[in-house]
Amino acid sequence: TPPELIRNFCIIAHIDHGKSTLADRMLQLTGVVEERAMRAQYLDRMDIERERGITIKSQAVRLPWAAPGRDGKTIDHVLNLIDTPGHVDFTYEVSRSLAACEGAVLLVDAAQGIEAQTLANLYLALENDLHVIPVLNKIDLPAAQPERYAEEIAHIIGGSPDDVLRVSGKTGAGVKELLDKVVAEIPPPVGDADAPARAMIFDSVYDIYRGVITYIRVIDGKITPRERIQMMSTRAIHELLEVGVISPEPIPTVGLGVGEVGYLITGVKDVRQSKVGDTITSAAKGATVPLGGYRDPRPMVYSGLYPLDGSDYPLLRDALDKLRLNDAALTYEPETSAALGFGYRCGYLGLLHMEITRDRLEREFGLDLISTTPNVVYRVTMEDTTTHVVTNPSDWPSGKIRDIVEPIVRCTIISPSEYIGTIMELCQSRRGSLGGMDYLSETRVELRYTMPLGEIIFDFFDALKSRTRGYASLDYEEIGMQEADLVKVDILLQGEAVDAFSAIVHKDSAYGYGVSMTAKLRELIPRQQFEVPIQAAVGSRVIARETIRAMRKDVLAKCYGGDITRKRKLLEKQKEGKKRMKMVGRVEVPQEAFIAALSTD
Ligand code: GTP
């Protein structure tokens, strides 16, 4: 297809504003999916995505669309709809999907208005110089207020409220007009057809039958099947087995030219060999300068993952090895904990990534898991100028520390204006500093904060939601590192540190953490035959203490003398119980106590 007849676009929206439903209507209207074969949310392939109603992996579909061309005559065009993942954790992947497009449909729920992710994605689209088509969705809803929210949108992106298209993904109203507008307004791709091939990878997914399927957008030149290609970031060379387009099933083609979007298969088995953002070129006479914007995926949040049943450890390892094939951002290495046994220290892009990974491990591999309190990556410089990168409280260096830096993020919060006070209070208590505030309309406000990522990953989102009765939305992006006064708090049982409970917290929160953790453990750990002190300490300084009083647990007292079988049975039972006990020094702790202590906050 000549570039003039191609339009590459994506739909950007806040979660639940109806992106997938609208995409489904587009598939139907363009005849790519027959009415009968249509199933809800055709593009969301993974079950888990469907259940959670979120899109994790982007996909691209090619839609034929006859629309009036520049001279008014109807011409067959090719629209490539590139699906973008919807959550903050995947900002980098979103930015690569956007970079594969010339335009974006900005979709806003006509009953909700602009939300934090709408704005975050809009900014990303503008950074990528995309042409933005504003659209209000769900106009069939009785609660829809298209006039009001068209104003809001016009206020943000400029132009008149009348330019905001109104559609319903449910009834299909306005979708034809939208596709015509995509052709009329979004510029066609430009590139040099005679230059060495350059194509950008905007997604890669692992398929058990075919290996890795790489989604690309060709910028210059042409990619043809049977040639050898090179990944420019690693210089690795692969044989091309197949090149094609998705419409909506994969269809092999004779090649992809300037501006085209499609997939390729090389036989690699691991998405790490086909990285999002990387540039593909021909192995022979290839390009020398890669496309801009490539970045290695970098975990932002770390947490320990342990099987509840220690004998599941090998299963967990196999499961992680399998997940990794499909997830270039997931990292893990073995870790042992006195409290929890053998497990893995895993690195994630963010909290949602962490939740999804754990969910998949439990669901797809039948594992029961416990995860330890997540933490971010700290850089600690010592007096002697050595530097430690700390992803685990147990790696916190001892000795004289000169300074500590932690990652900080810029947050965007959108909320009804009546909650401004309570939101500010919350953000301040999490060491946030207000960067600015704008009214989207008389009743809705956007607040911008700079905040340590470490303060967000615990329960910030939940706290925000509950303080605003669910009305506030949040988005954040990492903006760098900043010095912070942090300490490591250890929790000691009879003088022994329990690794799973060590935490790195701000100096001002150390006492609070110590008090709540020691109190919680006192409730959870059963009495022993001797007194057990529970202490919270920063270095050698104890900052909180509780005591579990001694109790004599005499199982045999119940056996009035003679009955030896009953006695044996009881002893057996006690041994059974002991198996699930963990020893911390001399103290026996049921594993349930650790689990309860970790999962209640
Ligand atoms: P993510 O993939 O999580 O970003 O969600 P999404 O934006 O793709 O939203 P989705 O298409 O899953 O729609 C969210 C909900 O809104 C679903 O319950 C849809 O049935 C409903 N919905 C979507 N479009 C419309 C519409 O035009 N009218 C009405 N009444 N409901 C809609």
Q: What is the pLDDT of residues 254-291, one digit of tens each?
A: 999 999 999 999 988 888 888 889 999 999 888 888 89
Question: In the predicted model, what is the mean pLDDT of residues 578-597?
Answer: 73
Q: Is the CB of 86 under 6 A from ligand 1?
A: yes
pLDDT of residue 49 exceeding 70, the answer is no
Structural contact between residues 329 and 297, judged by C-beta atoms closer than 8 angstroms:
yes
Q: What is the pLDDT of residues 381-411, one digit of tens each?
A: 999 999 999 998 988 998 899 999 999 999 9
For 365-404, b/e burial (b = at least 16 CB within 10 A) is: bebebbbbbbbbbbebbeeeeeeeebbbbbebeeeeeeeb
Q: What is the pLDDT of residues 208-249, one digit of tens each?
A: 788 888 999 999 999 998 899 999 998 999 999 999 998 877
pLDDT of residue 509 exceeding 80, the answer is yes
Question: In the predicted model, what is the mean pLDDT of residues 16-20?
Answer: 91
- Let me know if 305 is exposed, middle or buried by CB neighbors in 10 A (0-12, 13-18, 19+): buried
- Measured in Å, residue 168 CA sits from the centre of ligand 1 at 10
Q: Is the CB of 58 under 6 A from ligand 1?
A: no
Q: Is the CB of 25 under 6 A from ligand 1?
A: no
- Measured in Å, residue 109 CA sits from the centre of ligand 1 at 9
Under the banding of pLDDT at 50, 70 and 90, the label for residue 567 is low
The amino acid occupying position 185 is E
Q: Is the CB of 57 under 6 A from ligand 1?
A: no
- Measured in Å, residue 17 CA sits from the centre of ligand 1 at 5
Q: Is the CB of 307 under 6 A from ligand 1?
A: no
- Measured in Å, residue 390 CA sits from the centre of ligand 1 at 41
Say what the pLDDT of residue 312 is.
93
Say what the pLDDT of residue 576 is.
54
Distance CA 191, CA 403 (A): 49
Residue 106: half-sphere exposure toward Cβ, Cα within 13 Å: 28
For ligand 1, atom 18, the nearest C-alpha belongs to 16
pLDDT of residue 56 exceeding 60, the answer is no
Q: Is the CB of 96 under 6 A from ligand 1?
A: no
579 is in an annotated binding site: no
Ligand 1 atom closest to Cα of residue 167: 27
Say what the pLDDT of residue 51 is.
47
Under the banding of pLDDT at 50, 70 and 90, the label for residue 160 is very high
**Nearest-CA neighbor of 306 among 344, 358, 259?**
344
**Nearest-CA neighbor of 223 among 256, 189, 195, 260?**
256
For ligand 1, atom 29, the nearest C-alpha belongs to 138
Under the banding of pLDDT at 50, 70 and 90, the label for residue 500 is confident
Q: Is the CB of 52 under 6 A from ligand 1?
A: no
Under the banding of pLDDT at 50, 70 and 90, the label for residue 55 is very low
Probe target for ligand 1 pocket from 20, 28, 171, with the most ligand atoms within 8 Å of CB: 20
For ligand 1, atom 19, the nearest C-alpha belongs to 18
Question: In the predicted model, what is the mean pLDDT of residues 25-52?
Answer: 65
Q: What is the pLDDT of residues 72-99, one digit of tens each?
A: 788 999 999 998 876 667 778 888 899 9
| Element (DSSP H or E) covering residue 182 | helix 175-185
pLDDT of residue 173 exceeding 50, the answer is yes
- Measured in Å, residue 15 CA sits from the centre of ligand 1 at 8
- Measured in Å, residue 19 CA sits from the centre of ligand 1 at 6
Under the banding of pLDDT at 50, 70 and 90, the label for residue 473 is confident
| Element (DSSP H or E) covering residue 569 | helix 564-579
- Measured in Å, residue 589 CA sits from the centre of ligand 1 at 47
Q: Higher model confidence: residue 566 or residue 71?
A: 71
Say what the pLDDT of residue 437 is.
94
Strand 228-231, strand 279-282: pairing? antiparallel
For ligand 1, atom 23, the nearest C-alpha belongs to 18
- Measured in Å, residue 18 CA sits from the centre of ligand 1 at 3
Task: Kindly report the average pLDDT of the chain as a whole number.
Answer: 86
Q: Higher model confidence: residue 423 or residue 40?
A: 423
Q: Is the CB of 55 under 6 A from ligand 1?
A: yes
Distance CA 324, CA 331 (A): 8
Under the banding of pLDDT at 50, 70 and 90, the label for residue 57 is very low
pLDDT of residue 143 exceeding 70, the answer is yes
Under the banding of pLDDT at 50, 70 and 90, the label for residue 600 is very low
Q: Is the CB of 168 under 6 A from ligand 1?
A: yes
For ligand 1, atom 22, the nearest C-alpha belongs to 18
138 is in an annotated binding site: yes
Neighbouring residues of 395: CB distance < 8 A, sequence distance ≥ 6 = 388
- Measured in Å, residue 98 CA sits from the centre of ligand 1 at 21
pLDDT of residue 562 exceeding 60, the answer is no
- Measured in Å, residue 140 CA sits from the centre of ligand 1 at 12
Say what the pLDDT of residue 560 is.
53
87 is in an annotated binding site: no
Q: Is the CB of 141 under 6 A from ligand 1?
A: yes
139 is in an annotated binding site: yes
Question: In the predicted model, what is the mean pLDDT of residues 546-574?
Answer: 63
466 is in an annotated binding site: no
332 - beta bridge partners?
Answer: 346
Under the banding of pLDDT at 50, 70 and 90, the label for residue 127 is confident
SS (H, E, C) 484-550: CCEEEEEEEECCEECHHHCEEEEHHHHHHHHHHHHHHHHHHCCCCCCCEEEEEEECCEEEEEEEECC
Say what the pLDDT of residue 86 is.
64
Q: What is the pLDDT of residues 305-356, one digit of tens each?
A: 999 888 999 999 999 998 888 788 889 999 988 778 899 999 998 888 888 8
Read off the pTM: 0.79
Q: Is the CB of 140 under 6 A from ligand 1?
A: yes
Probe target for ligand 1 pocket from 17, 21, 167, with the most ligand atoms within 8 Å of CB: 21
Probe target for ligand 1 pocket from 10, 16, 87, with the most ligand atoms within 8 Å of CB: 16
137 is in an annotated binding site: yes
261 - beta bridge partners?
Answer: 217
Under the banding of pLDDT at 50, 70 and 90, the label for residue 558 is low
Question: In the predicted model, what is the mean pLDDT of residues 3-27?
Answer: 92
18 is in an annotated binding site: yes
- Share of residues in the chain with pLDDT > 90 (%): 52
Say what the pLDDT of residue 22 is.
94
- What is the CB neighbour count within 10 angstroms for residue 276? 25
21 is in an annotated binding site: yes
Q: Is the CB of 173 under 6 A from ligand 1?
A: no
Under the banding of pLDDT at 50, 70 and 90, the label for residue 367 is very high
For ligand 1, atom 2, the nearest C-alpha belongs to 54
- Measured in Å, residue 20 CA sits from the centre of ligand 1 at 7
pLDDT of residue 570 exceeding 50, the answer is yes
Q: Is the CB of 50 under 6 A from ligand 1?
A: no
